[in-house]
Amino acid sequence: MATLALFNLMRKKEGADAASKQASSDRFAARPLQFVQSANASRTLVLGLNWRAILISGGAQAALQKARSAGATHYCMLGTQTLAYGKVPLGKGAPDIPEQAYPAALLASRLTSGDALFALTLSSTEVWVAVIRNGRPYGMDEVLADPGGSLTVIARDWLVEKLGQYTQAAVYSDIDLGAFDFKIQNCSLANLMTATTMAGDRLLKLPPVSWLAKIEIPKPVFKVLAVLVLLWLANKAYDLWSAQVADELRAMKKTQELQVDDPAIRWPQAMAEFARSRAHPGLEGLRVVRKSLGQLPLHWKGWKLGSANCKAQPPAAGQQVWDCSASYTPEAKSGAGTNADLKASMPEGFDIKFESMQQVSLEWKPVYKVEPLDLNKLLTRNQHSLETASQLQTLLPAMSSIPSLSFTSSGVSPPKSNSGADIPKPANIVLPSEAPFSISGPLRTIDTLVDRGIAAEWRALSLTYAAMSGPVNTLLGSALQVQISGVLYAKD
């Protein structure tokens, strides 16, 4: 690569073979770091970090101590949940690390909010690989080498293995992988050299640990020491320890403050939260509600169906529930069944509610499984104008009202900064749009919508039953009329 320069700060006796043996013997051990520098030395990428989720108590102090115990000399924090660490030689004669050194895996994670695999060319015989889970680096990013220069072979082998574990992961690479079953998104180390960074993204040196924290005083010594000396030592040790903890907490807080307002982190989180609050367009809701309407009696013990209304609740825990109610009134002033008669003959799966002497209701709650809104699988506005509109146009003769498809930007709430201001949206984030619409016509319109595969996020349905006053043998002729409301989503 003409614009990149690779250099290794480890001593020769700590080369790739030694690093490989150490990684295989202890997957948590800090590994020697490698660095890729741009030709003008304006930025340096750090390779070979060990990325671990912080699942222990104790916060920053415990996380940094875990990095020390793994033999690390340098670290990077991603928020409060992820710690990355590695080692470079320290002491007299050791080379200096460039100030603008950023973990390559961290910059790669900014390109996606989900799962991803990166396999980028490092040299003619080396390829850098990394795993991203839920928008965060995962495991160990590493350099794979083949002295024969068969980058395609080692990259394909690694990707096939990882795709077996993370089946929904996107693949980013600049290597010609030949015939490959997955779509490859072009990306190289040069792209990471120009990626947006924050001050908190830099590789940092682990702060020194106080020698007093390592002292273990035997119990017999306590019996010998004078009380005043013991109190003085304890007080001094506490002061030193408190200062160290305060320094580490300040460093942690500074890193978090730099990252909490980062648009590249906060906006993907806001988009994911929006997607979870909506159901992906489909037909299952119409099928389930339509089936339940078919179980309603039109005439029941001298009572007649007047209307039915169903409204969808927001999706929760992978399910969507509809609240439905059907209203009945007596067909004649006399001869209608009593409340007791209705209760005894109530259809299975329904609850009865006695509204008044002249009105009762049947209530029920259809439930079905839903997936959260998947923005990547949505159609564009132009596709809706061509495909969805054409499908609806074929149904116009059977509709009593003509739906209007007008797309506007969806209500994605901007994330807030520490100061309470809206965080600006990055240019690469595209907000989805939505078009509410409704369809009116005979009940059989629902069946036609399902047959034609017109998918939407269906939200409401109302049905009325009334004697016909006009011609029966027409497309619009039916005693059962419905109005269906839903929302179409577009990815742009």
pLDDT tens digits, one per residue of 116-165: 999 999 998 999 999 999 999 999 999 999 888 788 999 999 999 999 99
Indicate the helix (H) or strand (E) that contains 161: helix 151-165
Q: In degrees rounded to 5, what are phi and psi of residue 296?
A: -75, 135
Residue 46 domain flag: yes
Let me know whether 57 and 154 are in one domain. yes
Let me know whether 334 and 196 are in one domain. no
The residue with tokens 């690469």 is: 428
Please give the C-alpha separations between residue 358 and each of 36, 325, 328, 365, 486, in angstroms, as whole numbers.
82, 16, 8, 24, 33
Let me know whether 312 and 404 are in one domain. yes
Give 199's contacts (C-beta < 8 A, 6+ positions apart): 258
pLDDT value for 396: 87
Residue 446 domain flag: yes
pLDDT value for 61: 75
Residue 97 domain flag: yes
Let me know whether 173 and 29 are in one domain. yes
Let me know whether 165 and 288 are in one domain. no
Let me know whether 417 and 308 are in one domain. yes
- Residue ranges of E strands in 334-404: 351-356, 359-364, 367-369
The answer to whether residues 445 and 462 touch, using CB atoms and an 8 Å cutoff, is: no
Let me know whether 325 and 179 are in one domain. no
Domain boundary among 190, 206, 222: 206
The residue with tokens 């973990």 is: 103
Residue 341 domain flag: yes
Let me know whether 199 and 304 are in one domain. no
DSSP state of 130: E
Q: How far apart are CA 344 and CA 301, in angstroms?
A: 11
Can you list the residues of the chain whose pLDDT is less than 70?
1-26, 55-59, 91-95, 210-226, 254-259, 468-475
Domain boundary among 187, 206, 225: 206
Please give the C-alpha separations between residue 332 and each of 7, 304, 337, in angstroms, as whole numbers.
93, 9, 11
Let me know whether 45 and 137 are in one domain. yes
Residue 120 domain flag: yes
Domain boundary among 189, 206, 223: 206
Residue 272 domain flag: no
pLDDT value for 259: 64
The answer to whether residues 378 and 489 touch, using CB atoms and an 8 Å cutoff, is: yes
**Torsion angle in degrees (nearest 10) through CA of 247, 250, 256, 258:** -110
N- to C-terminal Cα separation, the chain: 36
Let me know whether 288 and 191 are in one domain. no
Q: How far apart are CA 382 and CA 402, in angstroms?
A: 20
The answer to whether residues 405 and 393 touch, using CB atoms and an 8 Å cutoff, is: no
pLDDT value for 21: 44
pLDDT value for 67: 85
Let me know whether 289 and 390 are in one domain. yes
Query: Domain tally for the chain?
Result: 2
| Structural domain of 473 | 284-490
Let me know whether 193 and 303 are in one domain. no
DSSP bridge pairs for 85: 50, 75
* Helix, coil or strand: residue 254: helix
The answer to whether residues 278 and 457 touch, using CB atoms and an 8 Å cutoff, is: yes
Residue 406 domain flag: yes
pLDDT value for 52: 87
- Single pTM value for the model: 0.49
Amino acid at 314: P
Residue 40 domain flag: yes
